[in-house]
Copies of this chain bind each other. A is one copy, B any other.
Amino acid sequence: MSLQMALLTLISSGGPRSGYDLNRDFEGILKFVWHAKPTQVYPELRRLAAEGLIREQAEGSRGRRPYEITEEGLRVLRDWLTTTSADHSQRNETVLRSFALWLVHPEEAQAFLREEMEYHRARLRGMRATKKGLDPGRPADRAALLGVEAGIRRLEAMVSWAEWAIDTVADWPADTGDALSGSGAG
């Protein structure tokens, strides 16, 4: 359901877009918002076209199939925004793993946290670069700036959390033997 809305949002905001363009968006600006593999995107575009929510334009070079949104597609998008409420279910493997960190040696826990810190710092740099590429003069970009700002703030939260967590784990008492018996790096 929401994949359709994600595709309609991208197509409506970024002008005519092909499956390839959309896949790049999922890897770029939408990385922390929505994701889908190419094998899911292409059939879904066909379905949206069959439902009349998007329209295929003339085939471009290299077999590109650019789509544009239809009036009906816009209507459906607006309807979704105004009459349904957002699903808040989430999955975050970084945080899931942190719940289990008492089972490994502090050095291993810190190694994990450092890796996560670096990852989120890198993504944060990417997000800030993306932000610079947006034009506040364009209505669609103004909305995109809202989304990008959310991404930046969430990434900043993760980076500062990881920094704090590394310090916190350093202060954990040794717990000689019990939780870590049988652990690899013993």
Classify the interface of chain A: helix, strand, loop or mixed: helix
A183: chain B residues within 8 A (beta carbon): 78
| Binary contact readout A5-35 vs B (1 if CB under 8 angstroms, 0 otherwise) | 1101110110000000000000000111111
Flag if B13 contacts A100 (CB, 8 Å): yes
Interface residues on A, range: 35 or more
CA gap between A74 and B31 in the complex, in Å: 33
Q: Are B88 and A119 in contact (CB under 8 A)?
A: yes
Closest residue of chain B to A138 (Cβ to Cβ) is B102
Chain B residue contacts of A140, Cβ below 8 A: 102, 179
| Further contacts, 12 of them, CB under 8 A, given A71-B182, A100-B143 | A13-B99, A30-B99, A78-B103, A79-B184, A81-B112, A82-B184, A86-B94, A86-B97, A88-B93, A88-B123, A96-B147, A98-B150
